[in-house]
Amino acid sequence: MKQKVQLVDLGEQRAYKEIWDMQEELLQEKVRLKSLARESGAAAAGEGDHHLFFVEHTPVYTLGKSGHITNVLISDEERNAKGIEFFKINRGGDITFHGPGQLVGYPVIDLEKFRTDLGWYLRSLEEVIILTMAEYGLKGERSAGETGVWLDAQVKGKERKICAMGIRCSRWITMHGWAFNVNTDLDYFGYIIPCGIQNKQVTSLEKELGRKLDMQEVKDKVKKNFEKVFDVEIEKV
């Protein structure tokens, strides 16, 4: 029987801290239920549930636990004047941007029900985006040593990142996830060194295709490809 994943679409213009706290609370509850199940020797109610959240955030820069503040090129005063929030957070990776027109996905899933391998998990998330891009005639690629999805990853001077990724995992339960640039205003990336990677560009589906995308259409494709890659059934709630 396939694992079931509950998809919750949180919509657009949601503040980052609100959704970060929500993920953290859900992860901690799943960890608690998992511990109870281990102690009792039986599966706890709800322990096996998996969640996937879709959201668009209000403008925010987030710096991962291995990131460097020097990759933020804008002063606090300038950033506040532009209405961009900033948080140091507990995912892997460096600095990135979240904002309107970007499809952010947060899987909160128990990898013990799939495969206890973070490398496999990240490559699988990348594959979801690569398959989605292929449906738009774009060749998404991986870049050695750099988590995420790119175009022309091996062409010096033409490398363009379209999807950033960073996760946290506790007791094999995941949180955080990906940020897929769909109709994103790419000017926001000009005030940071995205993911701490020098001299490489950032792009979006809109820029590559020369037109705005229907966000619901993109969400539907990502949902379908998540089901395919992870071999799950997604139920929208």
Q: Which residues form the catalytic set?
A: 195
Paired strand residues for 177 = 166
Joined together, the tokens standing for residue 113 give 């029900």
Strands annotated E in 83-226: 85-88, 95-98, 102-108, 141-143, 146-151, 160-170, 173-181, 201-202
Alpha-carbon dihedral of residues 106, 111, 117, 120, nearest 10 degrees? -50
Those residues with Cβ within 8 angstroms of residue 145's Cβ, 6 or more apart along the chain or in another chain: none
Burial 130-166 (b: 16+ CB within 10 A, else e): bbbbeeeebebbbbeebbbbbbebeeeeebbbbbbbb
Q: Taking the CA atoms of the chain, what radius of gyration do you get in angstroms?
A: 18
Whole-angstrom distance, CA of residue 40 vs CA of residue 45: 12
Joined together, the tokens standing for residue 34 give 């998992």
Paired strand residues for 202 = 161
CB 167 within 8 A of CB 91: yes
Whole-angstrom distance, CA of residue 90 vs CA of residue 131: 28
